[in-house]
Amino acid sequence: MSFAVRTDTIPAELVVEYTSDPLALMARLSASGLYGDYVVYERSGSWTFAGGLLGEVVLDADRVHAHWPGRPPVTRTWTEGRPADALREAFADVPLPAWNAYGWIAFEFAASSPRGRLAHLIVPRVEVRAADGRAHITAVDAQEAEQVAKLLLAETTEDSPTPGTPSPVDVRVGDGPYRAQVADAVAEIKAGRYQKVIVSRRLEVPYPVDIVSTFVRGRRANTPARSFLLDMGGFQATGFSPEVLVSVDAAGHVLTQPLAGTRAFGLGTDADARGRRDLETDPKEIYEHAVSVHTSQRELYRVCDPETVQVRGFMTVKERGSVQHLGSTVTGVLAPGCTAWDALDALFPGVTASGIPKPAAIEAITRLDKHRGLYSGAVLTVSHDGALDSALVLRALYNRDGQAWLRAGAGIVGASTPEREYEETCEKLTSIAPHVVPLP
């Protein structure tokens, strides 16, 4: 372990070498009880634990609450403009030369008449970034950094605690109401109200859950584009996101990865190959994917130099836990005057979790679905240098006040059938339902 004292506003850095699974490190930190609020975020082989409150922004449907170090909390009304602009303005006041924020955005962030909590982000007291056998700890003071380092060093010298035993949740319930929702959506599509809409169903978990153990069990069984675990203000969630909603680097390069089209995966080599062939040749799935990619392109044209917008790896099959999808990558470079907040606003909510055209699909979802909250919203990290990375929240478990639930949806188009779309929700729920761990 090495230690260095810094002279700016975040004075302590430590580096710890580890040989264990970084997933185990994140679980150890999350279960330690050191921090009441925390976020774990995994992307591209790098894991981050962000714990404690140095600063905080909470966006409700009518107000913005911000609290920064050395300043009293501020609450102001917010009733006009874009939610992304409200967040941009709140973070413009951060009294720190360098910062990273972590948190979540609800699906209703995009609603025309939003209600409830729309976003919650924290600037943490401690950040632990683990990759390639080295964990970099940054904290507000040396004592806090050393406390975290000792916890990580214990992880490298002791056997990792075994997560609890899962109690699989039955996903084949509630088919009647969901099939009726799908039939209603198909009728509205055939009436010309919109082209595509994602209709979802909520599945209650019949016991209190161990969120950290569920995170560990679920991550070991999945191959996500991003994974996350959070506990913020008493709300907990963990998930294994199949797609990147929007990623913007400090130089303004933008990326989104829409997925659309689904078949079961993990049924054996022959069955998986048949599912892949069926996925790649099914006209309904190909159409659903193509229109999603086209929509993502048009959204990037709004905030990027049009000449830089391009599609890579069109209609490549992506394996994501219990399902496989058709996937593409759409990229661009931000136009002058545009920021990562503009890219988030243009692409949120994900087209593959809302529909086409988005305004009509979002309106339909408010009628056909119950309040979504974090489901089909985003978990994200944003930085002082203009970078932003966000994961579309699907394949997740949610928990508040001792009540946990799952949720999954399917993309409905004119050719959809209630039977097949219900089956698709079962396939998606199977990415997490077998791995839910009860509290001991």
Residues serving a catalytic function are 243
From CA 183, how far away is CA 187, in angstroms rounded? 6
Residue recorded with tokens 């970084």 = 22
Alpha-carbon span 364 to 191, nearest angstrom: 13
The tokens 């990415």 sit on which residue?
A: 431
Q: Which residue has the tokens 């979002």?
A: 362
The answer to whether the CB of 376 falls within 8 A of the CB of 392 is: yes
**Pair 37, 166: CB distance under 8 Å:** no
Find out whether 169 and 336 touch, Cβ atoms under 8 Å. no
Structure tokens at 252: 């303004």
CA-angle at 397, arms to 396 and 403, nearest 5°: 160
DSSP 8-state code for residue 159: P
Per-residue DSSP letter, 93: T
Bridging pattern class, strands 117-123 and 100-105: antiparallel
Q: Which residue, 352, 380, 219, is CA-closest to 293?
A: 352
- Residue 273 identity (one-letter amino acid): A
> From the DSSP assignment, how many helices (H) and strands (E) are in the chain?
10, 24
Nearest alpha carbon to residue 426 among 203, 231, 243? 203
b/e code 99-127 from CB counts within 10 Å (16+ = b): bbbbbbbbbbbbbeebeebbbbbbbbbbb
Question: N- to C-terminal Cα distance for the chain?
Answer: 35
**Are the beta carbons of 407 and 183 closer than 8 angstroms?**
no
Cα 84 to Cα 250: distance, rounded to the nearest angstrom? 18
Amino acid at 122: I
